[in-house]
Amino acid sequence: MKKSFAAILVSVLFLLGLGLVMLYSASYPYAQKASLCHGDLYWFVKRQLIWGAIGLVGLLIATKLDYNLWVKAAWVFWVAAFIMLVLVLVPGLGMRINGARRWLKPGFQPSELGKVAVIFTLAWCLDRGRVPIQNIRFWKCIRFQQKLSEFGWGFLLPMSVMGFIVLPIMCETDVGTSVLIGVVGLCMMLLGGVRWWLLLPSYGAAAWVLYEYLRRDPGRWGRITNIGTDVQQVYAKAAFALGGFKGVGLGLSRVKEHYLPLAFSDFIAPIIGEELGFCWMVAMLLAFVMLIAVGVHVSTRAREHAGYLMGMGLVTLIGLQGLINLAVVTSCIPNKGMPLPFISYGGTDLCVLLVCAGVLLSIARHADTSEPAMLPARRATNPFKARTLHG
């Protein structure tokens, strides 16, 4: 586990360092002109450094703590996230930026806390209901013969944990984060042993509601039907093309100067591609791949089932968020504001992700290397594929 611990730490620090360098390069043209920054070229970097310092302290604390404490305190985080998400919608408490109300004064984004609160709480729920989940049978449920405790632990409670966090986020018109939480929750429930036929109707209904919601919004529906024609996506592809293999040089991007507004936020990857070139883009991708692959390995060696689920949830969150961001800037999916983990400007996101990395490091520190890897509970019923579960 020492090598795994080092690999996670090196990956995170590399991405963090790359992000700070590219944040300055991508933000100083905007900071020079914006009245908010008063001509301070380092305005965004200074704030990112403050949040990064807080996040690194959180990473150290999370690394030293036993990861089980996060599971035990899961409901505290969940209740706090739910209250803050509701307060965002209260006039005078919530901040409206670029037409969206997603921040609490002076700039904290509760949806970022909501992501990890859902992961911690789902790990607690699915760990407590691990044995009942395996006993759920379709014919018993349709005949209402299934025990309420088993059906509740295995399905109703986990879905409620996600639903009450996703609902206020949807009211903030943050569709991307809502979908991200839903997909992460789906992965955790499947890994935890929840039967797919229980999830299929609920997620099918949610997908239909989401489709109707997007179809009736001309702006969002236009993004879906015209993938790749969005102005930001067009200039993002141009930035990658201009960068080529070696890049035009650090700080010499032309796209950030005139064509790509707020490039230091969700569209920072094209600036990396333009200035540093294909080689550094590959290095960044390899860092993400190493972080995710080692995170999966560490999670499967967790001592408890809750640690396994929590680790897999955090790895899925980081991986999906990065994948969505890169898919947007390469015009593979419609334009959706999703920061690139550890690199894009965004204090709350950076701080929360650093704490998540600390939790993964804690799992690595307390991993039981003498036992086989942790597997989902439902797969243990197959004598040909199952391996011994901890406890």
> Would you list the DSSP string of 196-219?
HHHHHHHHHHHHHHHHHHHHT-HH
In this predicted structure, what is the pLDDT of residue 99? Answer: 62
54 vs 371, more confident: 54
pLDDT level of residue 263 (50, 70, 90 thresholds): confident
The chain-wide mean pLDDT, for the chain, equals 83
Given this model, what pLDDT does residue 212 score? 87
Q: Is the pLDDT of residue 254 over 50?
A: yes
Residue 191 pLDDT level (bands cut at 50, 70, 90)? confident
| Confidence (pTM) | 0.86
Strand-pair category, 94-97 with 100-104:
antiparallel
Over residues 306-330, the pLDDT tens digits come to 899 999 999 999 999 999 999 999 9
Compute the distance between CA of residue 112 and CA of residue 100 in angstroms, rounded to an integer. Answer: 15
pLDDT over threshold 80, residue 229: no
Sequence ranges of the domains in the chain: 2-381
Tell me: pLDDT of 374 over 70.
no
| Integer CA distances (angstroms), 9 to 55, 56, 295, 323, in order | 13, 11, 11, 20
Tell me which range, 35-39, 178-182, 386-390, is most confidently predicted by mean pLDDT: 178-182
Cα angle, residue 13 at apex, residues 9 and 16 outer, rounded to 5°: 140
Per-residue pLDDT of 115-160, as tens digits, reads 999 999 999 988 876 644 445 454 444 444 444 446 677 778 888 9
pLDDT for the residue numbered 143: 42
The two structure tokens encoding residue 386: 């199952």
Comparing 86-95, 231-240, 346-355, 356-365, the range with the smallest average pLDDT is 86-95
Per-residue pLDDT for 373 more than 50?
no
Residue 384 — φ and ψ, nearest 5°?
-90, -25
Percent of the chain with pLDDT over 90: 41
pLDDT higher than 80, residue 98: no
SS (H, E, C) 263-314: CCCCCHHHHHHHHHCHHHHHHHHHHHHHHHHHHHHHHHCCCCHHHHHHHHHH
* Contact criterion met (CB below 8 Å) for 315 and 203: no
Residue 66 pLDDT exceeds 60: yes
User: Which one, of 271, 310, 386, 254, lies nearest residue 71 by Cα?
Assistant: 310
What's the rounded mean pLDDT across residues 50-78?
A: 93
- The tokens describing 42, both together, are 């380092």
Poorest-confidence range of 59-73, 136-150, 360-374?
Answer: 136-150
Local structure of residue 91 (DSSP, 8 states): B
**Residue 353 pLDDT more than 60?**
yes
Distance CA 90, CA 85 (A): 9
Angle at which helix 157-171 crosses helix 74-88, to 10 degrees, equals 30
